[in-house]
C-alpha cells in the first residue's frame, strides 16, 4: 500500500508489466505511441486510443486499482490466500459478490497456456475432494465427491518439487492418461499404485514404477505410505479448502480453487513475497478479460454431462453468492 497509494501508481506498474519495451498497440501491433493527459495511450500506427487495462483482466473494472492491488497482494502472498468474505471485510468492499468475483478473476489468470509439465520423478494418484468414501471399491468408485488427479515431483534426496491437481471425470485409463499427458512430461518416471487404470502408461513415454499395495501389506509396510508425496499434497489442499473456504467449494469451481492451491504450493519456497505478487499481476495483465458469466459457469471435467433439469443433486445456483443482493460489477 505504501508503494501503490493511488490508481496512477498502479497504472504505472501495470504499464511496465504489460509493455516492458514500451507501448505496443493491441489493435494494430504498432510499437510506439503517446501517453495522453487522461492516462490513456494514443497509437501512432492506427490513431486508436487505449488504456493499460484494456483487454486485460482489469478491463472496465469499477473497482479502484488500489483495491485490486491489495486484493492481489493478499491473494498471492498470504500463506492460505484469502476468502471472499475476509476480503470484503479487509477492504471494505461494498458487496460480497464484488469480492467473490475479484478472487475468481485472479484465480482464472493463474494457468499460463503452455506452462511446463512436471518432470523427473513424479508420484501420481487420485483422491476425492470433500472427504473419502469408505467402503467403495478400491476407494475409486465415484460418490458425491469430486475425483481429483494429483501429481507431485519428488526431489533427491528428499522433499517435493512442483505439483499439479485437476478434476478427473473418473478413474478410467482414458481419464488418467489424459491427466498424465496434460501434466507430466514424457520421459519422467511415474510412480503409481497398482490400479489398473495406470497399466501400460509406458506406451506414453513414461518409465512406470508401480507400487503394489498388496505387496506392501505382505511386506508388513503400511500401504498408505506408498505414495507419501501425493497424499501430503492432497491433505494440504483439503485442509485449505476446509479452513480458508470452509469447504464451500462447489464442483463447478473446484478447478479454479485447485489452480490457486497449486500456484501457491509451487511458490511456497519463494524467498520474496513481492515476486509472487509481481507474478500474479503479470499474469493478470497478460490475460484477456474474464466475464462474470464465465466465472459463474465454469467448464466441468469433459466426460461429465450437464445434469438435466429436474435431475438429481443440488442446482449449481445454490453454490453461487446470494442473488438477492444487488450485483455491482467488479
Ligand atoms: Zn494501433
Q: Spell out, as residue ranges, where the chain has pLDDT lower than 50.
A: 131-143, 298-330
282 Cα to the center of ligand 1, angstroms: 22
CA pair distance 305, 16, nearest whole angstrom: 43
The rounded Å distance from CA 128 to ligand 1 centre is 49
Which position has the grid cell 498408505?
A: 224
Ligand 1 centre and the CA of 321: distance in Å?
A: 39
Cα separation, 199 vs 187, whole angstroms: 16
pLDDT score of 266: 92
Q: Are the CB atoms for 41 and 23 separated by under 8 Å?
A: yes
Q: What's the gap in Å between 27 CA and the centre of ligand 1? A: 5
- Best CA proximity match to 169, nearest among 144, 150, 135, 146: 146
In the reported structure, the alpha carbon of residue 42 is separated from the centroid of ligand 1 by a whole-number distance in angstroms of 8
* Distance between Cα 291 and ligand 1 center (Å): 24
Residue 50 CA, ligand 1 centroid: distance in Å: 9
Alpha-carbon span 15 to 21, nearest angstrom? 10
Closest C-alpha to 189, from 173, 174, 205, 170 = 205
Cα 48 to ligand 1 centre (Å) = 5
Output the CA 35–ligand 1 centroid distance in Å. 13
How far, in Å, is the centroid of ligand 1 from the Cα of 55? 14
Under 8 Å between Cβ of 315 and 297: no
Instruction: Count CB neighbours of 61 within 10 A.
Output: 18
Q: What is the pTM of this model?
A: 0.80
**Ligand 1 mean position, distance from CA 20 (Å):** 17
- What does the block give as the cell for 83? 476468502
- What is the reported pLDDT for 169? 93
Q: What is the pLDDT of residue 310?
A: 40
54: CA distance to ligand 1 center in Å?
A: 13
**pLDDT reported for residue 143:** 44
CB 315 within 8 A of CB 296: no
What's the sign of the alpha-carbon dihedral 308, 104, 166, 221?
Answer: negative
User: What pLDDT is stored for residue 144 in this prediction?
Assistant: 64
For residue 223 the three cell numbers come to: 500401504
Gap from CA of 32 to ligand 1 centroid (Å): 9
Q: What is the pLDDT of residue 329?
A: 40
pLDDT for position 136: 47
CA 28 to centroid of ligand 1, rounded, Å? 4
Q: Please tell me the distance between residue 65's alpha carbon and the centre of ligand 1 in angstroms.
A: 25
Q: Shortest CA distance to 166 belongs to which of 189, 186, 150?
A: 150
Are the C-beta atoms of residues 126 and 167 closer than 8 Å to each other? no
User: Quick one: pLDDT at residue 297?
Assistant: 64
What confidence score (pLDDT) does residue 123 get? 97
Q: Do 163 and 153 form a contact (C-beta atoms < 8 A)?
A: yes
Residue 127, H or E segment: strand 121-129
Amino acid at each position: 500500500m505504501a508503494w501503490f497509494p493511488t490508481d496512477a501508481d498502479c497504472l504505472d506498474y501495470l504499464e511496465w508489466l504489460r509493455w516492458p519495451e514500451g507501448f505496443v498497440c493491441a489493435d494494430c501491433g504498432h510499437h510506439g505511441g503517446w501517453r495522453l493527459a487522461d492516462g490513456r495511450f494514443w497509437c501512432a500506427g492506427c490513431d486508436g486510443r487505449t488504456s493499460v487495462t484494456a483487454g486485460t483482466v482489469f478491463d472496465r473494472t469499477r473497482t479502484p486499482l488500489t483495491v485490486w492491488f491489495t486484493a492481489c497482494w493478499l491473494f498471492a502472498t498470504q500463506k492460505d490466500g484469502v476468502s471472499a468474505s475476509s476480503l470484503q471485510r479487509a477492504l471494505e468492499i461494498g458487496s460480497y459478490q464484488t469480492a467473490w468475483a475479484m478472487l475468481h478473476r485472479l484465480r482464472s489468470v493463474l494457468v499460463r497456456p503452455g506452462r511446463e509439465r512436471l518432470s523427473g520423478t513424479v508420484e501420481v494418484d487420485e483422491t476425492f475432494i470433500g472427504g473419502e468414501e469408505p467402503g467403495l471399491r478400491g476407494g475409486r468408485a465415484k460418490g458425491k465427491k469430486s475425483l481429483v488427479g494429483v501429481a507431485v515431483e519428488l526431489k533427491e534426496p528428499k522433499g517435493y518439487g512442483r505439483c499439479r491437481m485437476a478434476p478427473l471425470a473418473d478413474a478410467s485409463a482414458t481419464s488418467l492418461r489424459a491427466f498424465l499427458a496434460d501434466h507430466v512430461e514424457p520421459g519422467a518416471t511415474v510412480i503409481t499404485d497398482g490400479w489398473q487404470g495406470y497399466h501400460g502408461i509406458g506406451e506414453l513415454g513414461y518409465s512406470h514404477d508401480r507400487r503394489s499395495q498388496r505387496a506392501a501389506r505382505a511386506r508388513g509396510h503400511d500401504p498408505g505410505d506408498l505414495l507419501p508425496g501425493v497424499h501430503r499434497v492432497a491433505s494440504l489442499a483439503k485442509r485449505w479448502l476446509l479452513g480458508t473456504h470452509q469447504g464451500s467449494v462447489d464442483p463447478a469451481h473446484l478447478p479454479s480453487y485447485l489452480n490457486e492451491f497449486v500456484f501457491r504450493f509451487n511458490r511456497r519456497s519463494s524467498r520474496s513475497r513481492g515476486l509472487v505478487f509481481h507474478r500474479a499481476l503479470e499474469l493478470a495483465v497478460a490475460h484477456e478479460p474474464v466475464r462474470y458469466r464465465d466465472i459463474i459457469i465454469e467448464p466441468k471435467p469433459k466426460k461429465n454431462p450437464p445434469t438435466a433439469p429436474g435431475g438429481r443433486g443440488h442446482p449449481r445456483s445454490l453454490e453461487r453468492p446470494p442473488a438477492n443482493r444487488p450485483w455491482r460489477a467488479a
